[in-house]
Structure 1
Amino acid sequence: MGSYNFCIAVLVMFNLSFMGISTSLNPYFYAKVCPQALPTIKQVVGAAVKQERRVGASLLRLHFHDCFVNGCDASILLDSTSAFTSEKNALPNANSARGFEVIDRIKYEVDKVCGWPVVSCADILAVAARDSVVALGGPSWEVQLGRRDSTTASESKANNDIPSPFMDLPELINSFKKQGLNVKDLVALSGGHTLGLSQCRLFKNRIYNETNIDPNFAHQGRATCPPNGGDSKLAPLDPSPASFDTNYFSNLVSKKGLLHSDQALYNGGQTDYLVKTYSKNYGAFSKDFASSMIKMGNIKPLTGKRGQIRLDCKKVN
């Protein structure tokens, strides 16, 4: 065994013996072993969002796309190896998932303040998502902690399991149900689209061909997104894409949802009442969003002896 690998082995054993082998998540997982971990994550996220507000939406999306593929295990962060193809190459992530450099910065700063690699990349994703929402005016919640990192990734599962922007309501409900999430979770978590931008290729068909769309909104979208080309041009998912508010839902009620999957939530189906409620009641939306984020963060975590604490979020130890 080389000296580098020996050091890793010692760190991992020390890690497990020092913290105990917990098989369930709890919000105080790092309270004794590294009390500065969470404040450090908050500080780095705050600085990144201040520099570019859009990055808050990107970090939230990374956590979402991570959890929907084999659970919240930081598999989305891994680069390709001879053993697997990175989830970064999957259709929902290629040329659109971003914020990886912020996660790397957080990992570096947290390991430095803790003195050793004790915080998993999966937990960093979960906490960074929460801190991003808070930095953009949204609710806070107690993040459950103690996830460990996967040693593999799956491009095919990312293609199959991450909800598509072209899905209708029954497909969306089924996609969330597969993850143990219900209809309320679907609508509340879709409200994450109160933040961020979308590429033209994902809404082009909607603004040119769909009928359940406000004509002026469609016309405005066509100015950004030409019928041919311009696929990577960006448009906001709601009128205030850097503020956590209820405009996303108000847009849906006015038939101004940017993505087909957005407007599917308010199109004469069973989720109309929730969309209408959230459009008028920020308190109800923010409370349900926080609850659903906790629930999503609990999807199939690796705990105890399963997985590892990566030294570099991009690579298996």
Structure 2
Amino acid sequence: MSYPPCRPRELGSTGVNVPPLGLGCAPLGNLYRAVPEECAQDVVRTALATGAAYFDTAPHYGLGLSEERLGRALRGRDRAGYTLSTKVGRRLRPLAPGEEAAGEGFVETPARARVRDFTRDGIRATLDASLERLGVDAVDIVYLHDAEDHLREVYETGFPALAELRDQKAVRAIGFGMNHSDVLARLVADLEVDVVLCAGRWTLLEHTALGDLLPVCERRGTSVVVGGVYNSGLLADPSPGAPYNYAPAPAALLGRARQLAAVCDRFGVSLKAAALRFPFGHRAVASAVVGAATPDEMAENARLFTQDIPDELWHTLVARGLLDPDLPLPLND
């Protein structure tokens, strides 16, 4: 395989193709800070202009704000010109009198509340509401979102409801999205899953998914979309106080990230570029979705994704003990 990967890849055998770089749309829902409306629109426009025409969103992101903004930005666009995924498992409802919205990291959100709902009717209602906010007749992919603590409901009602939607051709690809690669591995082994979105467990810094999820995905023909390639920001800027898993990074991980950055700098390669490229060493990986709160961030991600990375950089990281020698690396042909 030549790098950087540039051709769209099919998710499983669904006929759904995704570009290797997509836009994670949590920042459009005001994750941690408010994003002005026009700025949010410009992020989406920049993603389209740079070829990152896979958009992943969820009702959870800003209590529907991300979906609403994405829908406005995509209005009038050729529906065949982009791939769209959203999630179910958190149904939104209006706030009761006197009730306050639980932001869960999102600020300046609509007056709604989240309800965990893995029932058939709840999943259909959640998807219908998402389609209305997005302004489309259908999405390409639906993920069950953060279901690791609700596995009984997943097996009894949640996944059967998604499979029914797939059988009815209301959606073309189904799967799960979460941070827990071990749970994803179990679900892929047990169920007919087209694609999983795994955040933070297959990165330049953390390789947990290689021990559980990635082998079973390769065996079962399930595609992997990687999220969290910067590990919440630690691989974007490994400065003191940098976040990891949405909390301040432990000293040991911060030190390792700084060592990775030093090697990358020796080869004139951005640490972010290496972080974007690394997941594609494994054949099951189809795409990486990366968040952006400004059009400049989106443009930078697209530019870094195409940066030339010499094989010697990866070999040096292995020689210095920063990468295990048995890891699949994105080496140039």
TM-score scaled by length of structure 1? 0.24
TM-score scaled by length of structure 2? 0.23
Higher relative contact order (CA 8 A, sep 6+): 1
Name the structure with the higher strand share: 2
